[in-house]
Structure 1
Amino acid sequence: MLTVRDRRSEAPDREIPIGREGRHRVRSPKSFFFPGAGRGSARKPRDPLWDNVRYVAATVVLVGHAITPLKDFAGFAWLHTATWALGVPLLALVSGRFSTADPLTGRHARQLVQAVFIPYAAFSLLHTLQIWILRDTLHFFVVNPVPTLWFLLSLLFWRAALPYLAALRFPFTLSVVAAVVVGLVEEVGFSYSASQTVTFLPFFLLGWRIGQGGWHLRAMERIPRSVAAVGTVVPFVGIGLLGDTVDRAWLAMSRPYIRDGLEFTQGVPVRLLALAWGVGAAVCMLRLVPRGRVPFITHLGSGGFYIYLIHPLILRQLYHVDFFSRIDTTAKALLFLVACLVAAAVLASPPVRFLARPFVQPRASSLLFRRPTDPAATPPAERPGPVGAPGRRTPVRSGGPDPGRCRYECRICQRTVSRFADRAPGLRPGRRDLRVRHPRRGRQGEGPEGRRASGDRLRRR
């Protein structure tokens, strides 16, 4: 049995059992040095802050869409406009927080298609089927997406373009400029969610910057909660004072300025104010939302995507039965508002998530994509090396260390011990602090990397 001992660790010796056919079991670096953290272990714990934010943002979107027909009641038009920044802008920021700027390789492309495009296509077909059942009309959403599904189409473009946007020096500033300039182009509108892809891009990039750390995250964390509370309340007061002066279409940012009845001198300041409001309100909400687990909310926060995707189907059914015409008093409107909050919790509940998972989180990799090649299944490349008897050819997996200069996969090379018997057959009991030459770092024990790794002792019992 092979044992690996690390002088820097106080843990006892870890034994690597030999599997079938005399081969060593290959472990990932994380699972090798931190048992229980590799494949088959428990998942990484979720951050309660972002689950809380997801639930708040998805609930605000649902309430905003549900009370749109109730704007004639006192306070509902104000609530519909004042909560805009806590809905889609906050969702875009959260989406950017969990996006990566790594190159769009085959693996990332599969994940992007499976996580974003397939749910978009599935729910577009569900909307088509629902319209056909209710109105006996077959309508496919090809050029113009479903009014509530444009976010998924924009998210697809954002994540695909993020590796290229990250290469820019000032991506956030350039995105703000693009969001202002796109309002001048009359040809760019709601088709393929082109306008909203550009106008909501700053929120997505801000979330990505926060996820990367740096001064963006430090600046947000230094905002006192009292200041964040004031920054959240001030827009509500301002919208209440302005009244009907603010048009919700200006905040949708889905059309050119001219179609919203704004000239160039009016449209640019309005667009800049909307972007500043959305960024400020989203950041303030991040500071106000509890960072720890909140009963009932944190558990449902992982289902925020379900709330956003399923509620439009329910609202279309309510429109079809003329439900909103029956709400003729303020008391009924308030009761409906409470029902919307309950509906958000129901849509994020585990039973609904279980039923809707094939559409929201499909597992279609085996149906649409080729199975990735398993490196362990490919025949090893044989190259001559000094290990073993003269003329012996040592099997080496592709991507491993140079067999002519490294006897085994040690901590310096790949932090794993793999096929040790084939890599170092000359190892004898009593040989300690085995010194081997590495491709780029000289002998083990030379330099800071070698000194740190020289404490590893390999022996055969």
Structure 2
Amino acid sequence: MLQSPQAQQRAPLPPLTEPVPPLRPARSSAKAPVPVPGEGRRDAYFDNAKYLAIVLVAVGHSWPLVLSGSRATEALYMLVYVFHMPAFILISGYFSRSFDMRPHKLMRLVSSVVVPYVVFQTVYAGFFAYMEDGPMTPHLLSPYFLMWFLLALFVWRLLTPLFMAVRWPVQISLLVAAAASVTPGMSEQLSVQRVLQFLPFFVLGLRLRPQHFRLVQRWSVRWAAIPVFAASAAFLYWAAPRTQLDWVYRNHSAQEMDQPWWLGVLMTFAMFGAALVLTACFLAWVPRRRMWFTALGAGTIGGYLLHGFVIKYAGYAGWVERLHLDTPPGRVVVTLAAVAMVTVLCTPPVRRALRAVAEPDLSWAFRKGS
């Protein structure tokens, strides 16, 4: 999957400020992506993928509310958690390929990652303090709930020039992830375990090219994805009562889960392989043409940052118990509610409302000519 340095020189990467050239599926009937106003030309396939990935994130975060007592829900929960963040991270890596340390790229990194992290880390601190009736103690280096991803994305972006320059970047990142999985006692600050254990997916995204996505868009891969997902769900239904969820969370070492160190190494490679296969199956079923939800792919930052407040409030308020949602029909209601909620949070009005803190113009803070 990796290209030689000579091949990379023949195919220079597009700058971050320009859209990635739209992918053309193998079938000649493919439609060209439709431009989104204000964004230049965007690729419908990737906007669809980002929206569907954020839907899986929201659904995955909502299921713990109704997880108890349902083996089937636990199996589906594990299935989603095996690949939903790897898919999101891989796509993030793909769109980070041209990141370097030039000033305007750093300004973009600060405005789109650092500022939202600082603002929402502080807001989440206030939210949890209010719900738990305790003092507000924001910890900027210890991410709350889902904020770990923005902190990780900041670190991964800074590492991008290094992994674009070294030989065997994916292999090196896998060794780093394996080493982290057998290193107990890592500080919870900076979410170091997750940053390092999810690193291979970001690095793999850096090395992917359009032809790799065209490969998974083939009809043969689409049809193969059905039995793969079915077999995975059946296996996880059997494995759910026997497996620790920390393996899919990737936030602890093997020793911290009372497992032998060598199992951490094996699970790192096994989970990477499983996540990669399921991510390919997921991407195979992402629509290539413009859909009703395509425009929502540009607003996934709002869906990601805001859905946590609703889900956590539902837990604190005891909605599941009060509304008797811990039943099969109730679990369906929770799932559909999560989909509807995150869909609304990805809409253009929400994105515009968040622009001052999620996509601020920081040109005033940087020297002219940067």
TM-score w.r.t. structure 1 length?
0.67
Moved more, 331-340 or 160-169: 331-340
Q: Hey, what's the Cα distance between the residues in 1 that align with 2:333 and 2:99?
A: 47
- Taking the aligned partners of 1:120 and 1:323, their CA distance within structure 2 comes to 28
* Residue 89 (structure 1) aligns with: 86
Greater relative contact order, per chain length (Cα 8 Å cut-off, separation 6+): 2
- How far apart are residue 231 of structure 1 and its match? 2.8
Match of 1:310 in 2: 306
2:189 is matched with 191
2:319 is aligned to: 323
Asked whether 1:121 is paired with 2:108, we answer: no
- Structure 1 or 2: more helix by fraction: 2
Cα offset, 1:44, TM superposition: 3.2
Q: Deviations for 1:414-434, whole angstroms, at most 9, x for unmatched residues?
A: xxxxxxxxxxxxxxxxxxxxx
Partner Cα distance (2:104, 2:77) in 1: 40
Contact 1:172 1:202 in 2 (8 A): yes
Contact 1:190 1:196 in 2 (8 A): no
Question: How far is the alpha carbon of 1:221 from its aligned partner?
Answer: 5.2
Does the CA contact (< 8 Å) of 2:221 and 2:281 recur in 1? no
Which of 258, 265, 269 pairs up with 1:268? 265
Show the counterpart of 2:356. Answer: 358
* Match in the other structure for 1:157: 155
Task: Measure how far apart 1:218 and its partner are.
Answer: 6.3
SS in 2 for 1:148: helix
Offset, 1:234:
2.5
Task: Write the distance in 1 (CA, Å) between the matches of 2:348 and 2:214.
Answer: 35
| 8 Å contact kept, 1:97–1:209 | yes
| Distance in structure 1 (CA, Å) of the matches to 2:233 and 2:368 | 52
Matched letter for residue 150 of structure 1 = W
- The answer on 1:57 being equivalent to 2:53 is yes
Residue in structure 2 matched with residue 103 of structure 1 by the alignment: 100
Tell me the SS of whatever aligns to 1:149. helix
Q: Distance in 1 between matches of 2:262 and 2:127?
A: 43
The answer as to whether partners of 1:96 and 1:207 remain within 8 angstroms in 2 is: yes
Q: Is the 8 A contact 1:78 1:240 kept in 2?
A: yes
> How far apart are the structure 1 equivalents of 2:67 and 2:214?
40
Q: What is the CA deviation profile of residues 84-133 of structure 1, one whole-angstrom value per residue up to 9, with x for unaligned ones?
A: 13421111011011113453111111111111111111111111222343
CA-CA distance at 1:189 after TM superposition: 4.8
Which of 288, 291, 316 is the equivalent residue of 2:288? Answer: 291
Partner of 1:300: 296
Q: 1:246 matched to which residue of 2?
A: 243
* Pair 1:142–1:43, CA change in 2 (3 A): closer
Say if 1:60 and 1:86, in contact at 8 Å, map to a contact too.
no
Deviation at 1:281, TM superposition (A): 1.0
Match in the other structure for 2:202: 204
Moved beyond 6 Å, runs of 4+: none
Mapped to 2, the partners of 1:168 and 1:55 lie a distance apart of 32
Distance in 1 of aligned mates of 2:100 and 2:245: 37
| Post-superposition CA distance 1:372-421 (Å, at most 9, x none) | 37xxxxxxxxxxxxxxxxxxxxxxxxxxxxxxxxxxxxxxxxxxxxxxxx
Evaluate the alpha carbon distance shift between residue 219 and residue 178 of structure 1 in structure 2; reply closer, same or farther with a 3 A threshold.
Answer: farther
1:442-461 alignment to 2 at 5 Å? none
Q: Could you give the per-residue CA deviations for residues 5-60 of structure 1, whole angstroms, max 9, x where no partner exists?
A: xxxxxxxxxxxxxxxxxxxxxxxxx9xxxxxxxxxx97532111111111111111
Q: Percent identity?
A: 25
Q: As a proportion of its length, which structure holds more strand?
A: 1
Task: For residue 327 of structure 1, report the CA deviation from its aligned partner.
Answer: 4.2
2:276 aligned residue = 279
**Which residue in the other structure is 2:21 paired with?**
none
Which of 173, 178, 190 aligns to 2:171? It is 173
Matched residue, 2:330 = 332
For the residue of structure 1 that corresponds to 2:146, the secondary structure is coil
One-letter amino acid matched to 2:362: A
| 1:162-221 Cα shifts (integer Å, max 9, x gaps) | 1011111100111111111111222325321211111111111222222x456x456545
Please give the alpha-carbon distance, in whole angstroms, between the structure 2 residues aligned to 1:183 and 1:149: 21
Q: Which runs of 5+ in 2 are unaligned?
A: 1-17, 19-36
Report the AA paired with residue 306 of structure 1. Answer: G
1:343-379, CA deviations, whole angstroms, 9 ceiling, x for partnerless residues?
121111222222222222222332x323337xxxxxx
Task: Pick closer, same or farther for the CA change 1:270–1:372 going to 2, 3 Å.
Answer: same
Supply the distance in 1 between the matched residues of 2:135 and 2:173 (Cα, whole angstroms).
Answer: 39
- The CA RMSD measured in Å over matched residues stands at 2.2
CA contact (8 A) 2:303 2:346 kept: yes
Displacement after TM superposition at 1:71 (Å): 1.0
Residue type at the aligned position of 1:160: L
The TM-score normalised by the length of structure 2 is 0.83
- Range 127-136 or range 258-267, more displaced: 127-136
Deviation at 1:299, TM superposition (A): 2.0
